[in-house]
């Protein structure tokens, strides 16, 4: 992060830390309500999760310290966790980047339109992500009998004779979950890109045309993207975090547990141990892994995007 | 030369005079966008149509996308279900109003109050605190779910509205967006108010807050979306405290016999946040222009 030049008159280097803190009493009072709650419900829970992950804890009795046992069990003995980890990674590696580029490309195309049409298109693409549990209609599309839309369509046009029970057939489960997740994924990141595209300085385009940019694709690559890098970074965080958290759609569409665990993700595994089996120490270890995966991949991608154009 | 030919298109495509745009490219994009828009819209079109389908159409083979004989049977069914519910339905609605209203209002206030010093003051620890907030938007609530339950139990606010409302005050994304938006307010505006003798609180209320209206509308809409979807299942045990979302989900989950009423419920659950978004769309887009992460 670049250091900002501060123009404050009262910002004096000779002041001691204590003095500076006293001077900013008003600032601390103003941030206090938020940060007290933030520590209580975000920072502290992360620390507690990490602590619990080294214990055996069933909520009723005082936790027993067990060292790395939970992690050893997780990676060596828990076959379902391996499936969950594999599914989550497949999910993240596919839906993360694809949804990111979907957000970017759709936002870019929408930006070519104007007025009401643009607002309308924005709504169409954004609506699924805020429509609550409307994704349950995918149950009707993917229903396993002839009444399902997909089966009905495929049978009517003679692609097949009998209905396929899509969400109970192992090889289809993950693919359909990915499609539904992509349908849901044009959220905050998408809005950020739409907004970011509008802030690009129009003069840049004219200057670029003088310099020999010939079509809209070159314009996108050489002018638009470099000037909306901050939005690209923020959008990446939104899409990556979302890609790792998939759980509800899996439970609603594939069931929990799903057929041969084909739709099990880290979060559904976490819910299994946290809210059904009450093995809180073990569940905390899963939560810590999830935390490290989410934050780690976010940090990595931030580094990569920052490098673009340097 | 091609200009006259393209004249009528000017209204659809942004600036025909814009550089580096070809007709063929425009048409391709228009068609591509149309196909994608249909794919995105079909499930939601189904939601709307299902709500108006009479029972025999819901179970028709082959299934149809559009309703043939729209009826309000499903709405009536839902009304009957609502009036027969054990806890009066008005109670669920009141709970939702308290939870979403309280959570949204509190979040906007608390987050704006904290965002102002983070954006415009230079106090020790500011960078560290803000970086922690940025870190917090990199993971989801599932990570902290278990300890959160314990903390809420220890605070003795389990099974009260506060259990759902208080944690919502401190969402990271809202503070982040608000702080980024406030940074664009010119310092001179604040300085001149200070010279007039205004306290920091006065600056906040009279200069900052009126200038960040799009941002607090955005925070309100985003917060509303997440509060609206909250069923309160972990923290609210009493039936009298449960929000509308919970009651509605019960109807959806009660099997094929209530599929008609369930279809209406799905429509209502989706329609409310979408309506709010339509109303506030331009403010939200304006807020998002400042959402970028600094390099």
Per-residue pLDDT tens for B123-172?
999 999 999 999 999 998 888 988 998 899 999 998 899 999 999 999 99
pLDDT exceeds cutoff 70 at A147: yes
Give how many domains chain A has, as a whole number: 2
Does A195 fall in a domain?
yes
Is residue A97 assigned to a domain? yes
Q: Which pLDDT tens digit goes with each residue over A105-123?
A: 999 999 888 788 889 999 9
pLDDT band at A70 (very low <50, low <70, confident <90, very high): very high
What's the distance, Cα to Cα, between the start and end of chain B in Å?
Answer: 45
B122, A8 in Cβ contact below 8 A?
A: yes
Residue A10 lies in a domain: yes
Residue from the list B43, B147, B245 with its beta carbon closest to the beta carbon of A128: B43
Q: Which residue has the higher pLDDT, A144 or A191?
A: A191
| pLDDT score of A20 | 83
Judged by CB atoms closer than 8 Å, whether chains meet at A147 and B135 is answered as no
**Contacts A232 to B, Cβ<8 Å:** 292
Q: What is the pLDDT of residues A14-43, one digit of tens each?
A: 678 888 888 888 899 999 999 999 999 999
Q: Which residue of A has its CA nearest to B172?
A: A38
DSSP run (H or E) holding B154:
helix B145-154
Whether residue A62 is contained in a domain is answered as no
Peptide bond preceding B62 in cis form (omega within 30 of 0): yes
Does one domain contain both A142 and A271?
Answer: yes
Look up the domain containing A14 and give its range. Answer: 1-52
My answer on whether A220 and A112 are in the same domain is yes
Q: Which of B29, B102, B142 to mutate to test the interface with A (most CBs of A within 10 A)?
A: B142
Give residue A41's pLDDT: 93
A163 and A116 within one domain: yes
Mean pLDDT value across residues A212-236? 86
Please tell me whether residues A120 and A262 are part of one structural domain: yes
Is A117 within 8 Å of B12 when comparing Cβ atoms? yes
The backbone torsions φ and ψ at residue B2, rounded to the nearest 5 degrees and listed phi first, read -75, -10
Name residue A9's beta-bridge partners. Answer: none
Do residues A179 and A99 touch, judged by C-beta distance below 8 A? no
Q: Is residue A242 pLDDT above 80, yes or no?
A: yes
Q: Is B159 helix (H, G, I), strand (E, B) or coil?
A: coil
B86/A contact by beta carbon, under 8 A: no
Give the span between the Cα atoms of B179 and B185, in whole angstroms: 11
pTM for this entry: 0.87
- B131/A contact by beta carbon, under 8 A: no
Q: Report yes or no for ipTM above 0.90.
A: no
pLDDT digits (tens, 9 = 90+) for B199-227: 889 999 999 999 999 998 999 989 998 88
Give the mean pLDDT of A232-255.
Answer: 88
Angle between helices B161-169 and A25-38 (to 10 degrees): 130
Q: Is residue A290 part of a domain?
A: yes
Q: Would you call A306 and B277 a contact, using CB atoms and an 8 Å cutoff?
A: no
Whether B288 sits inside 8 A of A38 (CB atoms) is no
Share of chain A above pLDDT 90, in %: 40
In a shared domain, residues A82 and A226: yes
Residue A66 lies in a domain: no
Same domain, A144 and A8: no
The verdict on A230 and A299 lying in the same domain is yes
Q: How do residues B223-275 score in pLDDT, each as one tens digit?
A: 998 888 888 777 888 888 888 888 888 887 777 777 888 888 889 889 999 99
Tell me which residue has tokens 């404050």: A8
Q: Answer yes or no: is A250 within a domain.
A: yes
Which residues in B130-139 are b (16+ Cβ under 10 Å) and which e?
Answer: beebbbbbbb
Residue B38 and residue B33: Cα distance in Å, rounded? 9
- Indicate which of A8, A13, A38, A55 best probes the interface with B, i.e. most B CBs within 10 Å of its own CB: A38
- Cβ B246 vs Cβ B92: under 8 Å: yes
Please report, for the domain that includes residue A126, its CATH number. Answer: 1.10.3720.10
Q: Tell me: the pLDDT tens digits for B3-58?
A: 444 444 444 444 445 667 778 888 888 898 899 999 999 999 989 998 898 888 87
Same domain, A202 and A233: yes
Q: What is the CATH topology of the domain spanning B73-289?
A: MetI-like fold (1.10.3720)
Contacts of A141 in chain B (CB under 8 A): 43, 46
Q: Are residues A218 and A278 in the same domain?
A: yes
Q: Tell me, yes or no, whether A106 and A172 share the same domain.
A: yes
* Domain segments of chain B as ranges: 19-71, 73-289
- Identify whether the C-beta of residue A194 lies closer than 8 Å to the C-beta of residue A107: yes
Question: What is chain A's mean pLDDT, rounded?
Answer: 86
* Å between B98 CA and nearest CA of chain A: 19
């Amino acid at each position: 992060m670049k250091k900002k030049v501060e123009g404050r008159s009262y910002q004096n280097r000779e002041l001691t830390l204590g003095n500076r803190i006293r001077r900013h009493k008003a600032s601390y009072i103003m941030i206090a309500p938020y940060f007290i709650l933030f520590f209580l419900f975000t920072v502290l829970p992360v620390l507690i999760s990490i602590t619990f992950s080294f214990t055996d804890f069933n909520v009723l009795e005082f936790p027993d310290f067990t060292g790395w046992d939970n992690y050893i069990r997780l990676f060596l003995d828990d076959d379902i966790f391996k499936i969950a980890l594999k599914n989550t990674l497949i999910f993240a590696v596919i839906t993360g980047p694809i949804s990111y580029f979907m957000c970017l490309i759709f936002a870019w195309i929408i930006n070519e339109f104007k007025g009401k049409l643009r607002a309308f298109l924005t709504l169409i693409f954004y609506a699924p992500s805020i429509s609550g549990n409307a994704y349950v209609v995918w149950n009707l599309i993917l229903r396993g009998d002839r009444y399902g839309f997909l089966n009905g369509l495929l049978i009517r046009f003679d692609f097949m004779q009998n209905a396929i029970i899509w969400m109970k057939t192992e090889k289809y489960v993950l693919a359909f979950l990915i499609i539904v997740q992509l349908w849901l994924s044009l959220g905050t990141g998408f809005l950020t890109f739409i907004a970011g595209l509008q802030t690009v300085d129009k003069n840049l385009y004219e200057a670029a045309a003088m310099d020999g940019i010939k079509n809209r694709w070159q314009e996108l690559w050489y002018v638009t993207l470099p000037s909306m890098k901050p939005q690209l970074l923020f959008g990446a965080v939104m899409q990556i975090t979302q890609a790792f958290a998939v759980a509800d759609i899996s439970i609603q569409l594939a069931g929990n547990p799903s057929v041969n665990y084909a739709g099990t993700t880290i979060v559904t595994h976490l819910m299994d141990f946290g809210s059904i089996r009450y093995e809180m120490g073990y569940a905390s270890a899963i939560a810590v892994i999830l935390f490290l995966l989410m934050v780690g991949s976010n940090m990595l991608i931030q580094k990569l995007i920052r490098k673009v154009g340097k | 030369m091609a200009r006259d030919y393209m004249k009528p298109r000017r209204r659809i495509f942004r600036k025909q005079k814009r550089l580096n745009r070809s007709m063929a490219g425009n048409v391709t994009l228009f068609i591509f966008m149309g196909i994608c828009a249909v794919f995105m819209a079909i499930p939601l079109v189904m939601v709307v149509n299902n709500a108006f389908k009479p029972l025999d159409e819901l179970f028709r083979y082959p299934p149809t996308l559009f309703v043939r004989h729209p009826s309000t049977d499903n709405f009536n069914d839902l009304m009957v279900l609502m009036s027969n519910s054990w806890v009066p339905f008005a109670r669920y609605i009141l709970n939702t109003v308290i939870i979403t209203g309280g959570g949204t209002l509190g979040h906007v206030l608390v987050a704006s109050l904290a965002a102002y010093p983070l954006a415009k003051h230079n106090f020790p620890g500011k960078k560290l605190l803000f970086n922690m907030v940025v870190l917090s938007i990199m993971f989801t609530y599932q990570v902290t779910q278990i300890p959160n339950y314990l903390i809420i139990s220890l605070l003795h606010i389990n099974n009260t509205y506060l259990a759902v409302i208080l944690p919502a005050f401190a969402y990271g994304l809202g503070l982040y967006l608000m702080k980024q938006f406030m940074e664009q307010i010119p310092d001179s505006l604040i300085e001149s108010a200070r010279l007039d003798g205004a306290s920091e609180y006065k600056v906040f209320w009279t200069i900052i807050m009126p200038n960040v209206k799009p941002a607090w509308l955005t925070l309100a809409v985003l917060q509303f979306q997440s509060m609206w979807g909250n069923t309160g299942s972990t923290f609210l045990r009493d039936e009298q405290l449960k929000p509308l979302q919970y009651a509605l989900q019960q109807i959806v989950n009660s099997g094929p016999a209530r599929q008609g009423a369930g279809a209406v419920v799905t429509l209502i659950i989706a329609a409310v946040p979408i309506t709010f978004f339509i109303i506030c769309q331009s403010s939200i887009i304006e807020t998002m222009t400042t959402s970028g992460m600094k390099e």
